[in-house]
Chains A and B, each alone.
Chain A
Amino acid sequence: GESVGLHLPTLSVQEGDNSIINCAYSNSASDYFIWYKQESGKGPQFIIDIRSNMDKRQGQRVTVLLNKTVKHLSLQIAATQPGDSAVYFCAEYNGANSKLTFGKGITLSVRP
């Protein structure tokens, strides 16, 4: 069946270091992937997306990598800042049944 999961429930990083948040998905038919960030008391905020015809996409300080062979998605944050502390969700979209499935989320904590 479909599942979107995150390898670790929490991640603690030192300010200034790079962060890598990982996500596994099980449906090889998924063709669109999105990362969201949710700060305390706010709704999820779109960070970056990637379609299945790409394996890498860069934004401002963030990079998403897609490995379709092992069904793995990662979000890299460069020079992590205190403002990056939040819960991060990956989501996969299956075009065959038009379903968008969210993962449970991972908490990123940035140590000063």
Chain B
Amino acid sequence: ETGVTQTPRHLVMGMTNKKSLKCEQHLGHNAMYWYKQSAKKPLELMFVYSLEERVENNSVPSRFSPECPNSSHLFLHLHTLQPEDSALYLCASSQGHLQTYPLHFGNGTRLTVT
């Protein structure tokens, strides 16, 4: 049972669509993250939020837009994506944003861009 819930689990979208990924954590953590997981590649950090403030943006294209309305919720808004953006998108949370505490991951959203 994960304390981090992601929806939807699967998403297929065209390159002209706009969609959003949602993440909710029930652990009382104050930092939340978006990671991208592609086949045979290490996890890639995309964004970090600490106390609802973005503290890191890892050179992610502007077609990915994060939003953190409160410490329990995190969104990733998607628009005009490319096929190479197809991947598993993982949300995580931790007690502190310096990542010296273990990350707790959700089960991810499997995104396919057609």
CB of B100 closer than 8 Å to a CB of A: yes
**Closest B-chain residue to A48, C-beta based?**
B102
In the complex, the answer to whether A4 meets B108 with C-beta atoms within 8 Å is no
Task: Please name the residue on chain A nearest to B2 by beta carbon.
Answer: A43
Q: Could you say which of A11-19, A58-66, A68-76, A94-102 contacts chain B?
A: A94-102
Interface of A is mostly: strand
Contact A95 B103 (CB under 8 A): no
How far is A98 from B43 in the complex, measured between Cα atoms in Å? 16
Q: Are A43 and B105 in contact (CB under 8 A)?
A: yes
How many residues in B have their beta carbons less than 8 Å from beta carbons of A? 20
Chain B neighbourhood of A45, CB < 8 A: 105
C-alpha spacing A60/B104, complex, angstroms: 19
Kindly state whether residue B30 has any CB partner on chain A within 8 Å: no
Residues of A within 8 A of B107 (CB): 41-43
List the B residue with the shortest CB-CB distance to A46.
Answer: B102
> Could you mark each residue 30-61 of chain A with 1 if its beta carbon is under 8 Å from any beta carbon of chain B, else 0?
00101010000111111001000000000000
Residue numbers in A under 8 Å from B40 (CB-CB)? 104
Binding site for B on A (CB under 8 A): 4, 32, 34, 36, 41-46, 49, 89, 93, 95, 98, 100-105
Please name 16 pairs of A and B residues whose Cβ atoms are closer than 8 Å in the assembled complex, sorted by A.
A4-B42, A32-B100, A34-B103, A36-B105, A41-B107, A42-B107, A43-B2, A43-B90, A43-B105, A43-B108, A44-B90, A46-B102, A93-B100, A95-B98, A98-B98, A104-B41
